[in-house]
Chains A and B, each alone.
Chain A
Amino acid sequence: MNSLNRKLFRDLWQMKGQAVAIALVMSCGIATFVLSRSMLHSLQLTQDTYYQRYNFADVFATLKRAPESLTERLAEIPGVGQVQTRIVVNVNLSVPGFDEPASGKLISLPETHRPRLNQLYFRQGRWLAPGRDDEVLASEAFSLANDLHVGDTISAVINGRQKKLRIVGIALSPEYIYEIKPGDLLPDNEHFGVFWMNHEALSIAYDLDGAFNDLSISLLHGASAPEVIQRVDDLIEPYGGLGSYDREDQLSNKFLDNEIEQNRNMGMFAPTIFLAVAAFLLNVVMTRTINTQREQIAALKAFGYSNLEVGGHYLKSVLLIVAGALLVGIPMGIWFGGVVTEMYAKLFHFPEFTFRIYPSVLLGASGVAMTAGVLGTIGSIARAVRLPPAEAMRPESPTGYGPTLLERLGLGRLVPPVALMVLRQLERHPLKTMLSTIAIALAVSVLVLGNYMQDSVNYMMAAQFHWVQRYDMSVATTEAVADRAIYELGSMPGVLLCEPNRYVSVRLRAGSRHRRVGILGIRSDSDLFGLVNMDGKPVPLPPGGLLVSQKLAEILDVGVGDWVQLEVLQGKKPIRQAMIAGTLQDFAGLSVYMEIDALRQLMREGPVVTGAHLLVDPKFQTALYRELKETPLISAVTVKQHAIDSFDKTVAENLRVMKSINLLFACIIAIGVVYNSARISLSERSRELATLRVVGFTRGEISAILLGELAVITLAAIPVGLVCGRFFAWWMTIAFDQELFRFPLVISQQTYAFAAAVVLVASTASGLVVRRRLDELDLVAVLKSRE
């Protein structure tokens, strides 16, 4: 090794604490980059190959009943590739040993050949035997959640009749990667499952011989989905078509796309913060190093080292720190990848999901890390390169200290001299003081951001489960029925309160914009269903007109008072006009509410209902489940507690993991920044402090001078960081604003307190470490050295 490189390594070793701290901050940025980008690509690749290999359809539609002969006409639509018709029905299930009601979808499979679209990935067991009407394939998610195996039986209420079904195989479908009950926010695999059954058996049971009620279509390359959708709608309309939609509105795909999008956002956001902080720290350290090495640089140049060699020397030390960061950050990112993959396994059901490490991502990570390192230090390195050697030989003239603002205001005498020294030091380097403050503030804000997600989701869940869903159970009927039926529900065991509702599927149209949504008609004095804004303020249900999600109003570009066209997607499919009477700032989905009688009037129908919300005495819950299961009219029962449990099992757990990771990151930033600031101050001022010691200042006093500066910066940074954290949270709220979820900007007092506390502890700890060095300060050596 040549002497210059030896100098490089010894200098780095000298500042190993700082180098490690910076490398760690940088490695967090690298890890988040590797994690998010690899996860993004892995998800996309898995999604693409799964969709392609298993012929995931492009357009979907549900209808009431259409003859098979329609298939040919559908296939003739320009742009249509394959057409797959099938029967899909919603059923109530019971799993042996479970009293709780579960529901499911039964999907028909052709008996003689594989389905053309939405093919199944076969995990276990065998295919359905032709002609059997008591065999099903069960989705893997449901089987796992309920510990069901090939050979087990479940029973389902098929067209009003209880039927035992034997599970002969376990399968997965690209249609149900995210297996969620329509209308739910989170999957509850224990209580909702998808099953596949012979076509013939289903068609007989539901009187759909020679007919179908569900449609999947694949598009030819380059076909326009909106055009095909329009044509399909025209064709299926007479058969009770509910309007077709493309992948974008396909539930499972929508959630998966949302997750992919989040990874894309995180892949930008998190690395930017960490790398910016790392670049700043490198900048401070490199500026300091080059300042202290002015005369060494001059000597190197005097002896004929070229500017390039001198610049390269310092650049190399930056790149070594970056290399260290990559060595830590890449494995860390890969490890996090494993953790997140495990989290995804609970939510997304792929035949196989591997977190792949892409060389391009690793290269990208190296590229951005190096760029951050170079951007952070290029200024100081350029100064080293430009430094005229003759000038560097001259001792630097002492920097001009001036009276501080406090003194200029005439208040100088009120402040002890030690405090004045601290203030003068801070004022002398306004830029550095500001940047240090910003860096520590960033650490605070990362901590705020780390806990914000949980605060927000907790708030959202609390609001959803306490303010909105005040009921214990919600039931849906198989079709619209007279409200008398609901009063029967009210007299079932344990039902304390029963409120009927009316649900209508519609397409809302305003000009060229439109969305498929459901209108929920409820009573304006409802006790069991609350209409509340994000902030918890109840929103009154207007007597006429629609109350819509703010997001829906934005999508349709309408405001209160505007009229929209309302195309009912069921029954006789009437088209009506309705007024937007109010907007609601809700958390998820696109919702439309209407006073139930106004809705009936709009539909020109009598007092019909499609479901009810129930308040239930917990003592009678089991008995009630049983009775509901036997009620043919009821097609689905949703128990609020199950949603809460499922949330706790999946999302809450995932959030906890994410939170610990964030905490780790934030602590690294906090310690990295504070420790570095302290070390730099120590190095800049050791001479001055040693002099003060020599002339009789105590250890305590000089510690106060050094650490006072740090304390002032930390204390100033905390409020700034809390505000920045809130700003970042707000930014994230905007970035993640989707039709699916809208995270409320809720940050708890604890989150703020925690962020401040962690940074205070990190500061104190760094301060103490530096103080120990101060105690060991070799007075003679410091004064002997010339700086």
Chain B
Amino acid sequence: MAGRATGDHFSRKLLTAMTGKTATTQESVFAARKITKVYHMGEVDVHALRGVDLDLYRGEFVVLLGPSGSGKSTLLNILGGLDSPSSGTVFYGDQQLTDFDDAALTRYRRYHVGFVFQFYNLIPSLTARENVGLITEIASNPMTPSEALAMVDLADRADHFPAQLSGGEQQRVAIARAVAKRPEVLLCDEPTGALDVQTGVLVLEVIQKINRELGTTTAVITHNAVIAEMADRVIHLSGGKITGVETNTTKREAAELTW
């Protein structure tokens, strides 16, 4: 077992060295190889991912850009351990996610990943503080819910229920919840999809701040090309394939964005 894992690890390093445009000195957090995902919908097979190779590096801010239905969410869910690919391998550091059983995936999500969803997915019967608490209670080295809420500028709304918050505020609570455990990676699936521009920008600012201040590797999904301007790297997805990767020479501040 151990021997094979080391071998895989070695070949992965090798692959990175051969294909990586970015400096090989950068440590990769995720390495996905040849992943496919097929959904069987009765008679038809939906190929959501058709062989994706992808690396995410420590501390970087990546935007996954692509039209609706291109497989962005599927890819993100696989990286986050919410789903597994039909074929291919995914490494998280030197651990092979695609070998994980359900319990191991749960532990992985519990200790390493922070999610932000398009529709916030807060627990409506819990206050902002309690929604964050729900996660810090099971994490190994969390901040306090108050600290996390302060990071997203919502300290004063800590005792409000989701229904008493605006969409942008709810999304910031969701970000506080995602980062309170100090995750290694922050995965955001269309975090501004349900928000107006101003609120969307506010949310993006918070995400950018987390990425900078905590150094959390961050992947943000969007179909909005403007948002891509704030990324270190932009990965284009179309029809379940990566159609291009570009590195931004100059990153724009979230606050400067508009669409």
Identify the A interface with B (CB < 8 A): 2-4, 6-7, 10-11, 14, 295-296, 298-307, 388-390, 393-394, 781, 786
Tell me which of B77, B110, B121 contacts A304 (CB under 8 A).
B110
Q: Is the CB of B125 within 8 A of A11?
A: yes
Residue from A7, A303, A305, A307 whose CB has the most chain B CB atoms within 10 Å:
A303
B74-94, CB < 8 A from A: 74, 77, 80, 82-83
In the complex, what residue of chain B is closest to A391 when comparing beta carbons?
A: B83
Q: Is the CB of B117 within 8 A of A393?
A: yes
Q: Is the CB of A299 within 8 A of B133?
A: no
B119: interface (CB < 8 Å): yes
Q: Is the CB of A303 within 8 A of B110?
A: yes
Q: Is the CB of A4 within 8 A of B134?
A: yes
Measured between beta carbons, the chain A residues less than 8 angstroms from B121 are 295-296, 298-299, 302, 393
B138: interface (CB < 8 Å): yes
Q: Give the Cβ gap from B179 to chain A, nearest Cβ, in Å.
A: 12
Measured between beta carbons, the chain B residues less than 8 angstroms from A305 are 106, 110, 138
In the complex, what residue of chain B is closest to A306 when comparing beta carbons?
A: B106
- Beyond A296-B121, A389-B82, is A3–B109 a contact (Cβ under 8 Å)? no
In the complex, what residue of chain B is closest to A393 when comparing beta carbons?
A: B117
Sample 26 A-B pairs with CB under 8 A, ordered by A number: A2-B133, A3-B126, A3-B131, A3-B133, A3-B134, A4-B134, A4-B137, A6-B130, A7-B130, A7-B134, A295-B121, A299-B122, A300-B134, A301-B82, A303-B109, A303-B110, A303-B134, A303-B135, A304-B106, A304-B107, A304-B139, A307-B102, A388-B82, A389-B77, A393-B73, A394-B73
Identify the B interface with A (CB < 8 A): 73-74, 77, 80, 82-83, 102-103, 106-111, 113-115, 117, 119, 121-126, 130-131, 133-135, 137-139, 163, 177-178, 189
Q: Is the CB of B106 within 8 A of A302?
A: no
Given contacts A302-B113, A390-B74, 18 further A-B contacts (CB under 8 A): A3-B126, A6-B130, A7-B126, A7-B130, A10-B126, A296-B121, A296-B124, A300-B134, A303-B110, A303-B135, A303-B177, A304-B106, A305-B138, A307-B106, A388-B83, A389-B83, A390-B82, A393-B73
Measured between beta carbons, the chain A residues less than 8 angstroms from B111 are 304
Measured between beta carbons, the chain B residues less than 8 angstroms from A11 are 125
In the complex, what residue of chain A is closest to B119 when comparing beta carbons?
A: A786
Q: Give the Cβ gap from A451 to chain B, nearest Cβ, in Å.
A: 43
Q: Bound complex: CA of A714 vs CA of B258, how far in Å? A: 57
Q: Give the Cβ gap from B194 to chain A, nearest Cβ, in Å.
A: 8
Which label, helix, strand, loop or mixed, suits the secondary structure of the A interface?
helix
Q: Bound complex: CA of A307 vs CA of B163, how far in Å? A: 27
- Beyond A11-B125, A295-B121, A781-B163, is A303–B83 a contact (Cβ under 8 Å)? no
List 9 A-B pairs, minimum CB-CB distance, nearest first: A304-B110, A10-B125, A390-B83, A299-B121, A3-B134, A304-B109, A390-B77, A390-B82, A3-B133
Tell me which of A304, A307, A781, A786 contacts B138 (CB under 8 A).
A304
Measured between beta carbons, the chain A residues less than 8 angstroms from B134 are 3-4, 7, 300, 303
Q: Is the CB of A296 within 8 A of B137?
A: no
- Beyond A7-B134, A307-B102, is A299–B117 a contact (Cβ under 8 Å)? yes
Q: Give the Cβ gap from B156 to chain A, nearest Cβ, in Å.
A: 20
Q: Is the CB of B125 within 8 A of A14?
A: yes
Q: Is the CB of A306 within 8 A of B103?
A: yes
Measured between beta carbons, the chain A residues less than 8 angstroms from B130 are 3, 6-7
Q: Give the Cβ gap from B104 to chain A, nearest Cβ, in Å.
A: 11
